[in-house]
Amino acid sequence: MNALVATNRNFKLAARLLGLDSKLEKSLLIPFREIKVECTIPKDDGTLASYVGFRVQHDNARGPMKGGIRYHPEVDPDEVNALAQLMTWKTAVANIPYGGAKGGIGCNPTELSRSELERLTRVFTQKIHDLIGVHTDVPAPDMGTGPQTMAWILDEYSKFHSYSPAIVTGKPVDLGGSLGRDAATGRGVLFATEALLNEHGKSVSGQRFVIQGFGNVGSWAAQLISENGGKVVAVSDITGAIKNSNGIDIPALLKHMNETRGVKGFHGGNPIDAKSILVEDCDVLIPAALGGVINRENANEIKAKYIIEAANHPTDPDADEILSKKGVAILPDIYANSGGVTVSYFEWVQNIQGFMWDEEKVNNELRTYMTKGFKAIKEMCKTHDCNLRMGAFTLGVNRVARATVLRGWEA
């Protein structure tokens, strides 16, 4: 099931639980605006190349729209729509004053030189600069983009609108980026995990963790979990997977990763088939890679008691049902991986105030937001007698619906 179908399904279930009017339900689903632009640049060899850039702005009832810009060869409009919609619910669950957006350019960033990427980013910014804004739509990095991409957008946008550091988040610290942003999603995963385990009378310390995906989110989550006494027994990335029942030495693995760019070949664990990582014996499973990895084929074999969705949409609805029957608690992506967008909000606030925080304040504020978020989800679970996923969706959808009605926008 693709991301859009699954997101729409969850939204409709939440709308039904909330008893939303059908007209309001329909208007909440329709994107505010979809933008498609042609970006033509001279390549380094003098030839011209054209790329398609796009931005889906889903909802702005609760504040400016917020979401990543990805550079990827296969940009699926349905997926982008789903991710923009997901950002609307995610920002509402986190209780930060944003709506959802998503966008990017259909290109393969690995095949473009740094100067070609810069030209492409600047042309894209020229095409959309009057459709984004500090109080309209605030982009951030996503797949295939990073702090440097944000720096180019900031510079190009500032040529039209004067110096505007708050136009993007995920910037380099030297240009007004926030301390703690790099670790934010992984740290949010730790705080979310703590909240769930505390609810069940447990703590991170002594639990066995399996982490699928060892990029920014997975590696930070692993590092922070092991620092808090958790035992990471298996990890995987695109190069392979390793297991050590006594617990992997995470600092040593991170050193190996920096040298070899993958977990493959690490001597502190035994290599295992990457496909089996999700069904390894553990207490807590953290999928932190791609969507749709937990499905009806493998759901019955999963041994974890808790699943923390660090990736977007890693569990498909069929698997959701199977795992619920088995009594597995699933912490949904729209809450579990919201640490990144929450610290993006802190970055935006710091830029608007022109007053930067120290890292300790960033991390303490993030803990407060993640803890409050979990309590609010649990309240919705009690009110509507539903699981954590529906608790999060009803919380997010209800906040957006209330803002929409209060502003007099309902159809």
Question: Within 13 Å of residue 6, how many CA atoms lie on the same side as its CB?
Answer: 22
The maximal CA–CA distance of the chain, rounded, in angstroms, is 64
DSSP code at position 294: B
Is 236 labeled as ligand-binding?
no
Helix, strand, coil % (nearest 5) of the chain? Answer: 50, 20, 35
Out of 26, 102, 243, 372, which one is annotated catalytic? Answer: 102
Is 216 labeled as ligand-binding?
yes
Question: What is the C-alpha to C-alpha distance for residues 234 and 243, in angstroms, rounded to an integer?
Answer: 4
Give the closest residue to 282 by CA, choosing from 232, 320, 330.
232
Question: What is the C-alpha to C-alpha distance for residues 237 and 271, in angstroms, rounded to an integer?
Answer: 12
CB 264 within 8 A of CB 271: yes
Can you point out the beta strands (E) in 107-172?
137-141
* Residue recorded with tokens 């959808």: 397
Question: What is the C-alpha to C-alpha distance for residues 192 and 197, in angstroms, rounded to an integer?
Answer: 9
Task: Please state, in angstroms and as integers, the Cα–Cα distance from residue 291 to each residue in 4, 199, 287, 295, 314, following that order.
Answer: 12, 27, 9, 10, 4
Is 344 labeled as ligand-binding?
yes
Our answer to whether residue 243 is catalytic in this structure is: no
Is 60 labeled as ligand-binding?
no
Is 90 labeled as ligand-binding?
yes
Active site residues: 102
Q: Which residues define the annotated binding site?
A: 66, 90, 185, 216, 344
Q: Which residues define the annotated binding site for substrate?
A: 66, 90, 344
Q: Which residues define the annotated binding site for NAD(+)?
A: 185, 216
